[in-house]
């Protein structure tokens, strides 16, 4: 199925959490000089106009990134919490000034160095063409029209010896929940030290619980859950929250998110929002 287009959802509350975690993970990995391999299994189009017909139709950016007072949040935070938010703000603010929002590939491309490599998989023919155009001339990037589930197993471990993998499917198909469990388990077997970032939506809570149970039974180690919600669960009637499941997160990330997520919830959904930080599986 290829009906999902992220242009309708760019800059929403789910993107905020996903990209906070992604930026923090990449910036922590870049503290080491050795080259890094970044794989995005469901890369999308790369960047999105917040003035587009799709964005204006849903209004999700207006309830998400455009609602956040990033300057006020930065002034109110300190330490690792401040560093986490500052890295994300620096990555997205140049785009917001043009009323655009970057997808994960362009965020990563803006952070990574000359010696690093990005491999970006996208199956939708229109989006992969847009993505290739946005990154044309960047020799660090390989853009491929491919099934990210299949390609991930072929690409790890990479020659760079260090890897961050973002797995961000649309979950249009129910078997995506099963596929991501198998993929995470297989990738950690292939490369124990890889940092694996899995995004999930909260539309039907039972699907999330099934996902967590599957991962807990899979043998994966050092797994954390980070979740941000803007409404109570509604049993299949729209996206109320989203989360990131991270294998081998930076050791500073859980503490920073415990401090930052309540502040984000207060701005995005003070009455009905919620957040969660917990370790599901130890090392």
Nearest 5°: phi and psi at 111? -95, -35
Domains defined for the chain, CATH in brackets: 6-281 (3.40.50.150)
User: Concatenated DSSP letters for 114-135?
Assistant: TT-EEEEEE--HHHHHHHHHHT
What span, in angstroms and rounded, lies between the C-alpha atoms of 23 and 87? Answer: 7
The owner of tokens 């599986």 is 281
pLDDT tens profile 22-52: 999 999 999 999 999 999 999 999 999 999 8
Are residues 266 and 68 in contact, defined by beta-carbon separation less than 8 angstroms?
A: no
Q: How confident is the model at residue 8 (pLDDT cuts 50, 70, 90)?
A: confident
Is the per-residue pLDDT at 3 higher than 60? no
168 assigned to active site: yes
Q: What is the pLDDT of residue 6?
A: 80
Catalytic residue among 116, 127, 168, 176: 168
Q: What is the pLDDT of residue 4?
A: 62
pLDDT tens profile 110-157: 999 999 999 999 999 999 999 999 999 999 999 999 999 999 999 999
The owner of tokens 């500073």 is 252
Q: What is the pLDDT of residue 2?
A: 54
């Amino acid at each position: 199925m290829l009906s999902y287009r992220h242009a309708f959802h760019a800059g929403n509350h789910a993107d905020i959490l996903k990209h906070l975690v992604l930026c923090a993970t990449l910036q922590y990995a870049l503290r080491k000089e050795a080259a890094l391999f970044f794989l995005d299994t469901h890369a999308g189009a790369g960047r999105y106009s917040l003035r587009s017909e799709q964005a204006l139709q849903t209004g999700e950016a207006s309830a998400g990134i455009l609602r956040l007072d990033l300057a006020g949040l930065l002034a109110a935070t300190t330490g690792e919490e401040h560093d986490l938010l500052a890295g994300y703000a620096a990555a997205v603010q140049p785009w917001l000034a043009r009323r655009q929002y970057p997808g994960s590939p362009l965020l990563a491309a803006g952070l990574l160095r000359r010696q690093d490599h990005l491999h970006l998989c996208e199956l939708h023919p229109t989006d992969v063409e847009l993505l290739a155009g946005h990154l044309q001339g960047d020799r660090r990037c390989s853009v491929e029209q491919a099934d990210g589930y299949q390609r991930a197993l072929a690409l790890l471990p990479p020659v760079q010896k260090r890897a961050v993998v973002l797995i961000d499917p649309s979950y249009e198909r129910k078997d995506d929940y099963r596929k991501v469990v198998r993929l995470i388990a297989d990738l950690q077997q292939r490369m124990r030290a890889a940092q694996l970032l899995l995004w999930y939506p909260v539309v039907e809570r039972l699907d999330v619980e099934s996902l967590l149970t599957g991962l807990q039974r899979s043998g994966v180690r050092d797994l954390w859950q980070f979740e941000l919600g803007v409404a109570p669960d509604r049993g299949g009637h729209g996206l109320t929250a989203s989360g990131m499941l991270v294998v081998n997160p930076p050791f500073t990330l859980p503490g920073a998110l415990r401090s930052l997520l309540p502040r984000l919830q207060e701005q995005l959904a003070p009455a009905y929002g919620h957040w969660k930080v917990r370790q599901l599986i130890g090392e």
